[in-house]
């Protein structure tokens, strides 16, 4: 038997509970993992609260991330005792995920846990931090250098934003953090932000072309925030879009792209191939200080997950929520 967060649906009503399940109820897959830590991302919050149709079949164990130890494997890729992590691949959506003490998964979805990180530290990064690293990798691959100017990070006090600030600052960039939390200035500056701005400067409808400011943008917010960020991006600047906290809409025009040559880079963390995942995690292992992870993350137990999901969807969470599934 093992404990898990279980989402069920009867008729149109969704329910969520901390359940005790038999391992025989897990989906069949070649690798069995004893999960040590998971996390709550914004997508997990949407799944658990039912605010968005993230879950594609029921019942479902949510959790798009986990880190733990392989217990059994019929795959040549993994052996019992291997320390592994998983980000994305549809777990917690169409396949039972990481907010549980056990998981059965496809071997191709697993990565070896970087030696520098403990399982808890890897989940302090989680999909949010790994997505931030994908954004930074994409910007650098497209030629961004610190001498080009300021880099804007929206949703700065969230998981993606917090890690993006840390990575960009470490790489020598002048980072401007946009947040709606007025009291988070010291926190964001401790991560490396050179300046903090109120998100209201970006979150309202704006003109399609605005004064040029940003050499690049990491946006996890979407909607008007992303539209305004693009409208303020400098000639041949770069915008990495990876989230939708404000909304899925994009009320913008083509003007920044055809008149300033701005490039909009879509960042997908769920199905990203291994050749993108490994450089992202290598950057995290190289550039993200353990002290920063302590500032970014908060540890809770499995029984606290449902309440924490409500908080993350309501925008009340700073940084990352790590879940000790055995607590």
What are the tens digits of pLDDT across the range 95-121?
Answer: 999 999 999 999 999 999 999 999 999
Angle value at C-alpha 323, between 70 and 184, nearest 5 degrees: 135
**What value does the mean pLDDT take over residues 10-35?**
94
- Spatial separation of the C-alpha atoms in residues 159 and 317, rounded to whole Å: 9
> 214-271, pLDDT tens digit by residue?
999 999 999 999 999 999 999 999 999 999 999 999 999 999 999 999 999 999 999 9
Q: Quick check: helix, strand or coil at residue 157? A: coil
Q: For residue 22, which phi and psi values (nearest 5 degrees)?
A: -90, 140
CATH code at 127-266: 3.40.50.720
The predicted pLDDT at position 318 comes to 85
- Specify the pLDDT at position 273: 95
Closest to 96 in 3D by CA, of 19, 42, 10, 158: 19
Global pTM value: 0.92
The reply to whether domains 2-113+293-324 and 127-266 share a CATH topology is: no
* Residue 195 β-bridge partners: 176
Would you kindly state where each structural domain of the chain is located, as residue ranges?
A: 2-113+293-324, 127-266
Distance CA 196, CA 199 (A): 9
Residue 112's pLDDT is: 95
- Over the stretch 163-212, which tens digit does the pLDDT of each residue have? 999 999 999 999 999 999 888 999 999 999 999 999 999 999 999 999 99
Confirm if 218 and 135 have CB atoms less than 8 A apart: yes
Share of the chain above pLDDT 70, in %: 100
Mean pLDDT of 44-64: 94
Q: Per-residue pLDDT for 295 more than 90?
A: no
What CATH code would you report for 2-113+293-324? 3.90.180.10
SS3 (DSSP) at 70: strand
Structure tokens at 33: 């993992």
pLDDT of residue 199: 95
Q: Is the pLDDT of residue 40 over 90?
A: yes
DSSP letters of 2-65?
EEEEEEEEETTEEEEEEEEE-GGGSPP-SEEEEEEEEEE-HHHHHHHHTSS----SSSB---SE
What local confidence, expressed as pLDDT, does residue 215 receive?
A: 98
Residue 291 has pLDDT above 80, yes or no: no
Helix, strand or coil for residue 288?
A: coil
Question: Cα dihedral angle (293, 194, 235, 268), rounded to 10 degrees?
Answer: 10
């Amino acid at each position: 038997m093992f404990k898990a967060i279980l989402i069920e649906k009867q008729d149109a009503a969704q329910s969520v509970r901390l359940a005790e399940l038999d391992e025989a109820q897990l989906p069949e897959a070649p690798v069995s993992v004893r999960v040590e830590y998971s996390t709550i991302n914004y997508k997990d919050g949407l799944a658990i609260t039912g605010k968005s149709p993230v879950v594609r079949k029921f019942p479902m164990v949510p959790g798009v991330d986990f880190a733990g130890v392989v217990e059994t494997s019929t795959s040549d890729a993994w052996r019992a005792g291997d320390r592994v992590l998983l980000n994305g691949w549809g777990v917690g959506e169409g396949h039972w995920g990481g907010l549980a003490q056990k998981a059965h998964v496809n071997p191709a979805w697993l990565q070896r846990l970087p030696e520098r990180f403990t399982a808890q530290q890897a989940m302090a990064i989680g999909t949010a931090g790994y997505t931030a690293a994908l954004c930074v990798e994409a910007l650098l691959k497209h030629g961004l250098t610190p001498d080009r100017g300021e880099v804007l990070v929206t949703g700065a006090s969230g998981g993606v934003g917090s890690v993006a600030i840390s990575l960009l600052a470490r790489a020598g960039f002048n980072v401007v953090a946009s947040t709606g939390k007025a009291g988070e200035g010291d926190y964001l500056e401790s991560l490396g932000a050179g300046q903090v701005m109120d998100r209201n400067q970006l979150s309202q409808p704006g003109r399609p072309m605005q004064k040029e400011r940003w050499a690049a943008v990491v946006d996890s917010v979407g909607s008007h925030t992303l539209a305004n960020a693009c409208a303020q991006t400098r000639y041949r600047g770069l915008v990495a879009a990876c989230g939708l906290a404000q909304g899925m809409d994009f009320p913008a025009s083509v003007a920044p792209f055809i008149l300033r040559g701005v490039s909009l880079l879509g960042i997908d963390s769920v199905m990203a191939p291994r050749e993108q995942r490994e450089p992202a995690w290598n950057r995290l292992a190289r550039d993200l200080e353990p002290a920063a992870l302590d500032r970014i993350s908060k540890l809770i137990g499995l029984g606290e997950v449902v309440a924490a999901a409500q908080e993350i969807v309501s925008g009340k969470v700073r940084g990352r929520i790590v879940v000790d599934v055995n607590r």
